Amino acid sequence: MSRGQIHDVKIIEGVIYVMKALDLVKQDFREYILLNAMFYGLVTASMTYAYFFPDIQRELMQTVRTEFLEIFPFVVEAYMSGNFPLAAALTFAINLILGSFVYITLLSLVIPFGGIVMGCVRAAAWGLLLAPTSPELASPMIPHFLTLILEGQGYIFAIFGATVHWKGVIWPRSIGEEKRSRAYLTGLKKTAQIYTLVALFLAISAVYEAFEVIYIIGKPG
């Protein structure tokens, strides 16, 4: 089999994985819609709060900037140097591994529905940090809203996977299982399938965010 044929097979397999994940979303579409409303609703509510109480935004932003520089200096360097491929790759890796798997999925495997709580915390923090409370913040937020939507979808799908997982454990017969131990394993398989959508949206988001920050927001006026 030639390289071209192998490449075509991988693309077909990827499409199949995405279609299977979308089928899972269709099966619990109501939960998916509710999670979207919860996530973006919290972003909006916390943005509104920051607009009326901007001091909390300034304090939180200073803390986040300091911690991010200490923990991820290589990411800051990639953006500051204008290294678009590296910035996109690092953004994707951090959002997928830490933002989704560690803080949402892995936590949810130990604490039932723990990922929902972390998702709520993230949404509220986004709103407080990114609220356009001044003209200086309002201008870059125009292109950044697309990042919020795309990256937010990645996290929402991760939260959705955790929700579907534990919903099946609580009501195993709803997914065709008799024992909760079997339902737990079935939930793991479903979560793995849903991660196709998590990775897809976070990849698109990372590419756009790197382009946005380097070529739009960082472009000299």
> pLDDT tens digit string along 129-148?
999 888 888 888 888 999 99
Averaged pLDDT of the chain: 90
Domain enclosing residue 122, as ranges: 3-217
Domain total of the chain: 1
pLDDT band of residue 221 (cuts 50, 70, 90) is: very low
34-41: long-range pairs with CB below 8 Å, 24+: 35/116, 35/119, 35/156, 35/159, 35/160, 35/163, 36/156, 38/119, 38/120, 38/123, 39/119, 39/120, 39/123, 39/152, 39/155, 39/156, 39/159, 40/123, 40/152
Lowest mean pLDDT among 25-39, 41-55, 83-97, 135-149: 135-149
**pTM of the predicted protein model:** 0.92
**Which range, 5-14, 133-142, 191-200, is most confident?**
191-200
